Amino acid sequence: MYQQSTMALELLSKEHAEKIFSSKQIAVWEYLKSVEEAAPGEISKRTKVARPTVAQVLDKLLRLKKIERIGLGRSTRYRKLLL
């Protein structure tokens, strides 16, 4: 029981969040790691992931404090946080 709870906590930690991502979420995350910054439309086009899915992944990455939002509205861009 202790080992399972330790593993669960590790999976849910910010540092290891990638372990619980789906393949589409990983594609978006890997793309963001490879560029300086990107707009949601660009991410969708480059990763071939649907725009609504990209928006969901970006929201999740923002909550996990993996990325930051730059700007608002149509000019919104995202970039990986430097740690």
What pLDDT was estimated at residue 39? 96
The answer to whether residue 4 is domain-embedded is no
Per-residue model confidence as pLDDT tens digits over 10-27: 655 545 556 678 888 889
pLDDT band at 4 (very low <50, low <70, confident <90, very high): confident
Integer CA distances (angstroms), 36 to 7, 28, 29, 30, 72, in order: 32, 14, 12, 12, 18
Contact 49, 43 (CB under 8 A): yes
The answer to whether residue 31 is domain-embedded is yes
Q: Which residues contact 46 (CB under 8 A, 6 or more apart)?
A: 31, 38
Per-residue model confidence as pLDDT tens digits over 26-58: 899 999 999 999 999 999 999 999 999 999 999
The answer to whether residue 43 is domain-embedded is yes
The answer to whether residue 14 is domain-embedded is no
What pLDDT was estimated at residue 57? 93
Check which CATH number belongs to the domain holding 30 and give it.
1.10.10.10
What pLDDT was estimated at residue 32? 93
The answer to whether residue 6 is domain-embedded is no
**Structural domain count of the chain:** 1
The answer to whether residue 1 is domain-embedded is no
The answer to whether residue 70 is domain-embedded is yes
72 pLDDT exceeds 80? yes
Contact 71, 80 (CB under 8 A): no
Q: What's the domain range around 55?
A: 21-80
